[in-house]
Chains A and B, each alone.
Chain A
Amino acid sequence: MAVIKNTSAIKNSPKHLLGIQNLSIQEAKKILNEAKTFIKLNRSKSKKLDILRGKTQINLFFEPSTRTQSSFDLAGKRLGADVMTMNVINSAQKKGETLIDTAMTLNAMHPDLIVIRHQDSGAPNLLSQKVNCAVINAGDGRREHPTQALLDALTIINRKGKIEGLKIAICGDILHSRVARSNIYLMNMLGAEVNVIAPKTLMPKSIERLGVKSFTNMKKGLDSCDIVMMLRLQNERMQGSFIPSKREYYEYFGLTQEKLKYASKDALIMHPGPMNRGVEIDTKLADDINVSLVKEQVELGVAVRMACLKIYCK
């Protein structure tokens, strides 16, 4: 099923990377192609370029993050930008400063790029209206995490050579997941077929309207899938409020060798991290280099972010 476009007036102005929604296919492909050129560089001995020399990149993180933050940090530095990372959880917000005021303050320092992670959906959109530089969304609420989807796409292309025609399953807490949403939009756009699998309480209502098939059964949902993306299940959601227990979740939705057999023979596993071993994924499976792409995802994440920084920094 094709992606449904523009039912709400969400606009992705080319100046900012706010989400995959309404990113054109050309723009998405441009980022992916650009990223490919950085993969080699990142594996070589001298990793430094000066494409962004003299540019200032501010990483504005309102939510704790390790991999996304360090990935953006490294990406900016490898391109030669001056990178500053602010963990706002500990400073301005505590003093009651609003997002807009923080934005205005930073804007006065003339950054060229702001990378923002925020717990509220739409915060990057709001920020982008108030600053003069490019805004890159590093995850907002449960709305979007575009660079994660892009790095997932790059990882798949790297292994499978293409995305078009593949069948991709996304399993786990779809309801609260921005990674799931961004991946649904991007994989659809690039011509894959997407299944989402979750217990009913973690499946958003009318998710089919985003162009996916939804399943509450791993056997049916994984059937002949080429890629299995597992999502992290937050601790606080495991103890009776959304699902009865960790144990029960693992029994029905945890990815094990047996369940993986439902997917196609050469199926590969992905996970945005951090993993809950033994909750959503069997620990051996997660480390099996023949099927697990987890490490590659992290590696290519830097390349994708370098591409985004380069393209959006004007």
Chain B
Amino acid sequence: MKEKIFINARIIDPSQNLDEKGCVIVDEKGKIKSIGSKTKITDTFPSAEIIDLKNNILIPGIVDMKAFVGEPGFEYKENFRTLSQAALAGGVTSIVTMPNTNPIIDNVSMVDFITRRGRDKASVNLYPCATLTKQMQGKLMTEFGLLSSRGIIGFTDVNTVVQNTETMARIMDYASDVGVLIMQHAEDLELSKNGCINEGEISNRLGLGGISPIAEKIIIERDLTLLSEFPCRYHINQISSELSLDVIERNKLKGKKFSVGVSINNLSLNENDIGDFKTFLKLSPPLRHESDRVKLVEGVKKGLIDVIVSDHIPEDEESKRLPFLQAASGAIGIETLLPLALEMYHNESLPLSKIIETLTINPAKILKINKGTLKKGSDADICVFDLEAPWVVKADKLKSKSKNTAIEDRKLQGKILMTFLNGELVFNQQ
């Protein structure tokens, strides 16, 4: 590979508190050689390839902590190839994949399969999760040690919770010793049973069972109580309501160490968007009241929420063209993650650097991976975007194999121009 020099870039790298005009040099091995305003182009090889970014923004490749790849078992919804294409078109270079496949990833042989398959078919950095409990039944813990030694980045039961407190206590106790990352789906299943959207006026009008925000809060309260006793690496996948935020604030103030994620959907949409039973907006956790959404955005601003995820869940039409209660939950979103997040910059609710931080260095730190940064010597995973370019989301233009976007026809501002993986151009908007 030839050396690459990005010139006329606005570099934003929150891992180095960087937001300045300058250039970036990537060496022949695809590593960052030099970055920032002080970088001089003269001290490089004359053979270097020069890329003029024309004052567009250059950031570390995005790290998405929650996405579903259909393999194995749901190849008709998404596969490694289509997920990679969608991710790269969205500036995402590292993906944490969910284990609720078929078969479920809860044993070592499945991990070997998925890493081999991913290596052959995917063109992004994949970080697979395994389930927290065997068959996601919330009863028996999986082999945390063995699985992580084979490359599992974290443990999660994705869309279900370990309901039994004793089991959860043991899991956290064991995990605190092994040092693995626990990623909890915070939803008390007894409380949320029969519910499919936020409990309140909309659920009354639509005649749908409601999920109270208490169902989320109670699991967070429980787990954070356990965390005092068993200080493991603990992450809450997604929160959705103001109630949860209060608990999180209280615990973070006490100095407890844990991290919190939020889906871009819960930051950009509310329950009103469900309208006349739009099943593409059936999500888990559910979209809540506008006041919750506003508080979540504030939570990101205050640093109570560490990461924004796409919660990319591809579903085919058959799973969605059903009465609301029967329809599958989830929406695709990896390709629109950054542009949709930029909405919060354009409407002045979040600073740009904060948005980038939650998409790059914060998830990388939680995962303990050397990504999400452009420090000298790191992999040159890079996303270049135009902050201002307007466009309209059209499902059939998206690269994901499934087309269940929650933001069809949404007018966005901010467009990914190029994505680089280890210094190689892997997506080019032209």
Q: Which residues of A contact B (CB under 8 A)?
A: 7-11, 21, 98-100, 118, 120-123, 125-126, 140-144, 178, 181, 204-207, 209-210
Q: Report if B204 contacts A (CB, 8 A).
A: yes
Contact of A140 among B203, B204, B207, B321 (CB under 8 A): B207
Besides the contacts A140-B207, A141-B325, A209-B200, what 4 more A-B pairs have beta carbons closer than 8 Å?
A8-B205, A9-B275, A143-B208, A178-B207
Cβ–Cβ contact A8 & B325, under 8 A: no
**A2–B275 CA distance with the chains assembled, in angstroms:** 22
Q: Nearest chain A CB to B35's CB is how many angstroms away?
A: 48
B199/A205 in contact, CB under 8 A: yes
For the complex, give the distance between the alpha carbons of A8 and B208 in Å: 14
Show 14 residue pairs from A and B whose CB-CB distance is below 8 angstroms, ordered by the A residue.
A9-B272, A98-B321, A100-B321, A100-B322, A121-B323, A122-B208, A141-B207, A141-B208, A142-B208, A143-B208, A181-B207, A204-B210, A205-B200, A210-B205
* Minimum CB distance partner of B326 in chain A: A120
B201 and A122: CB pair below 8 A?
no
* Complex Cα spacing A122 to B200, Å: 17
Docked pose: A269 CA to B205 CA in angstroms: 26
| Residue contact A206 to B201, C-beta cutoff 8 Å | yes
Contact A120 B324 (CB under 8 A): yes
Interface contact A125-B199, CB-CB below 8 Å: no
Interface check B350, CB cutoff 8 A: no
Closest residue to A100 on the B side, CB-wise?
B321
B277 in contact (CB, < 8 A): yes
B324 engages A10 (CB within 8 Å): no
Which residue of chain B has the shortest Cβ distance to A99 in the bound complex? Answer: B323
Contacts A120-B323, A120-B324 known; A125 to B204 CB distance under 8 Å?
no
Residue positions of B touching A, CB distance < 8 A: 199-208, 210, 212, 272, 274-277, 318, 321-326
Closest 9 CB pairs of A and B: A143-B207, A120-B323, A121-B207, A122-B277, A209-B201, A9-B275, A142-B207, A123-B323, A122-B324
B207 engages A144 (CB within 8 Å): yes
B204 & A209 in contact (Cβ 8 Å cutoff) = yes
- The contact of A125 among B201, B210, B277, by CB within 8 Å, is B277
Given contacts A118-B323, A122-B323, contact A205 B276 (CB under 8 A): no
Asked if B323 contacts A7 (CB within 8 A), the reply is: no
Known: A120-B326, A126-B323, A206-B200. A143 touches B206 (CB 8 A): yes
Output the residue of B275, B276, B323 with the most chain A CB within 10 A.
Answer: B323
Least Cβ distance of A127 to chain B in Å?
9
Give Cα A123 to B212, complex, Å.
23
How many angstroms between the C-alpha atoms of A206 and B200 in the bound complex? Answer: 6
On whether A120 and B325 interact (CB within 8 A), knowing A10-B205, A181-B204, the answer reads yes
Q: Which residues of B sit under 8 angstroms from A143, Cβ to Cβ? A: 205-208
Residues in chain B near residue A126, CB distance under 8 A: 277, 321-323
B428 to chain A, nearest CB (A): 39
B208: A residues at CB distance < 8 A = 121-122, 141-143
A140's nearest neighbour on chain B, judged by CB, is B207
Q: Assuming A140-B207, A206-B201, is B276 touching A10 (CB within 8 A)?
A: yes
| Bound Cα distance from A133 to B318, whole angstroms | 23
Q: What CA separation (Å) do A102 and B396 show in the bound complex? A: 27
Residue numbers in B under 8 Å from A9 (CB-CB): 272, 275-276
CB-CB under 8 A from A125, the residues of chain B are: 276-277
Provide the bound-state CA to CA distance between A204 and B209, in Å: 10
Q: In the assembly, what is the distance between CA of A14 and CA of B318, in Å?
A: 28
Task: Report yes or no: A121 in contact with B199, Cβ–Cβ below 8 A.
Answer: no
Asked if B204 contacts A204 (CB within 8 A), the reply is yes
Q: When chains A and B are docked, how far (Å) is the Cα of A141 from the Cα of B208?
A: 8
B326: which A residues are within 8 A, CB to CB?
A: 120
Which B residue's beta carbon lies closest to that of A210? B204
Q: Which residue of A lies closest to B205 (CB)?
A: A8
Q: Which residues of chain B have C-beta atoms less than 8 A from A206's C-beta? A: 200-201, 204
Query: What residues of B have a CB within 8 angstroms of the CB of A11 in the complex?
Result: 276
How distant is B285 from chain A, measured CB to nearest CB, in Å?
17
Residues of B within 8 A of A120 (CB): 323-326
Q: For the complex, give the distance between the alpha carbons of A205 and B206 in Å.
A: 14
A181-B204, A210-B205 given as contacts; is B210 within 8 A of A205 (CB)?
Answer: yes
Chain A residues within an 8 Å CB radius of B324 = 120-122
Q: Which of A11, A142, A144 gathers the greatest number of chain B CB atoms within 10 Å?
A: A142
Collect the chain A residues with CB atoms within 8 Å of residue B201's CB. 7, 206, 209-210
The smallest beta-carbon distance between B103 and chain A, in angstroms, is 23
